[in-house]
Amino acid sequence: MNTVPAPAEDLIVLGKIVSVHGIRGEIKVYSFTDPLDNLLDYRCWILQRDGERKEVELVSGRLQGKVLVAKLRGLDDREVARTYAGFEICVPRALLPSLDDGEYYWYQLQGLRVINQDGHLFGRVDHLLETGANDVLVVKPCPGSLDDRERLLPYTEQCVQRIDLASGEMQVIWDAEF
């Protein structure tokens, strides 16, 4: 396992190590990918936590319920594996597969200005939440916003009308009073 220099490439967080599994150094991983086991398609993971980065190699993995159980090269001891809990699992942005037109990665939506049908700026997309029914945009106020309210908007076709990554804007149909 190598330590990766701090000023590294553009990384995307795809999961997080949450605990250990068994006695042979396997780890439990919460995956942010859809489907969950897509994370296993990446053999080289860059782990980061509190400014520390490590490059590791995925040897094997499997879906077990709602988590992944993974084996990393050279990690064979349960107590050493326990020290990996809390590390985010990242891959270089360039390794992500291309999407079809009209599809976006969450990271592409973060930071977009959100403007409603009446031209009111609600703020910027801070992050997204996954819910059972649909994903939710968390829009926080920014300079020039209509007001200082945080808004939760459904990420649905009925609400989101247009996304323009080049201009950094998202057009929504949403009442300013709601």
Residue 8 pLDDT class (50, 70, 90 cuts): low
Neighbours of 32 (CB within 10 A): 17
Look at residue 83 and tell me whether its pLDDT is greater than 60. yes
pLDDT digit string, tens, across residues 13-66: 999 999 999 999 999 999 999 899 999 999 999 999 999 999 999 999 999 999
Kindly report the pTM of this predicted structure. Answer: 0.78
Position 137: which residue type? L
Pairwise CA distance, residues 164 & 144, whole Å: 19
The tokens of 160 are what? Answer: 């989101």
Which residue, among 33, 77, 39, has the nearest Cα to 58 in the 3D structure?
39
Strands 169-172, 113-116: pairing is parallel
- Please name every residue paired with 123 in a beta bridge, in sequence order, or none if there are none: 114
Question: Could you tell me the fold of the domain covering 106-172?
Answer: SH3 type barrels. (2.30.30)
Q: What's the mean pLDDT when you consider all of the chain?
A: 93
Pick the CATH number of 2-94 from 2.40.30.60, 3.90.1150.10, 1.10.760.10, 3.40.50.300: 2.40.30.60
Neighbours of 66 (CB within 10 A): 8
Position 147: which residue type? D
Helix (H) or strand (E) holding 81: helix 78-82
Per-domain residue ranges of the chain? 2-94, 106-172
Backbone angles phi, psi at 66, to 5 degrees: -100, 10
